[in-house]
Amino acid sequence: MIWKSMPSGDDPTGENRFSEKIMLKQREAITIRLDHDPGDIMKKPKIEAEEQQPRKVIRADKAPTEGYSLVVDGHFKSHHDTVEAAEEAGMALKNQYQMLQVQVYDAATKTRSMIEWPAPVQA
């Protein structure tokens, strides 16, 4: 379909876009939008927070005072109650990412022990 060039006030439907009929429709649409309150359609339920328990915050930049922690590339990561659990978590991490330097930190003696990646067995 080829459209003829029209003066700027003409509408392709044949009416002048500044006619009373079109101006009234636009004015009604604007007033409907202004009268509409979006809160009427959907109201979110107010969630009342129960009294929250204070969290035990373990800072990654300070050495723990008890238990055993994993030290990955010089940063404290996870905390464990036993040395076996810490070594197991360290080996799982080392098996997945061999390039990491993984250590187990003992808070009681303030020492670190390196977790070594097992060397391949040569036949």
Q: What is the pLDDT of residues 55-98, one digit of tens each?
A: 776 676 778 888 999 999 988 988 999 999 999 999 999 999 98
Residue 11 within a domain: no
| Domain assignment present for 104 | yes
* Residue 35 belongs to some domain of the structure: no
pLDDT digit string, tens, across residues 5-29:
555 555 556 555 566 777 777 777 6
Does residue 98 fall inside a structural domain? Answer: yes
Whether 75 is covered by a domain: the verdict is yes
Longest dimension (CA), the chain: 95
Name the pTM for this structure: 0.50
Tokens of 18: 């500044």
Q: Is residue 24 part of a domain?
A: no
What number of other Cβ atoms are within 10 A of residue 104's Cβ? 21
Note every long-range contact of 76-80, with CB atoms under 8 Å and residues 24 or more positions apart, other chains counting: 76/105
Q: For residue 95, give its domain range.
A: 68-114
Task: Let me know if residue 106 belongs to a domain.
Answer: yes
- With respect to residue 43, please indicate whether it lies within any of the assigned structural domains: no
Task: Considering only CA atoms, give the Rg of the chain.
Answer: 35
- The number of distinct structural domains making up the chain is 1
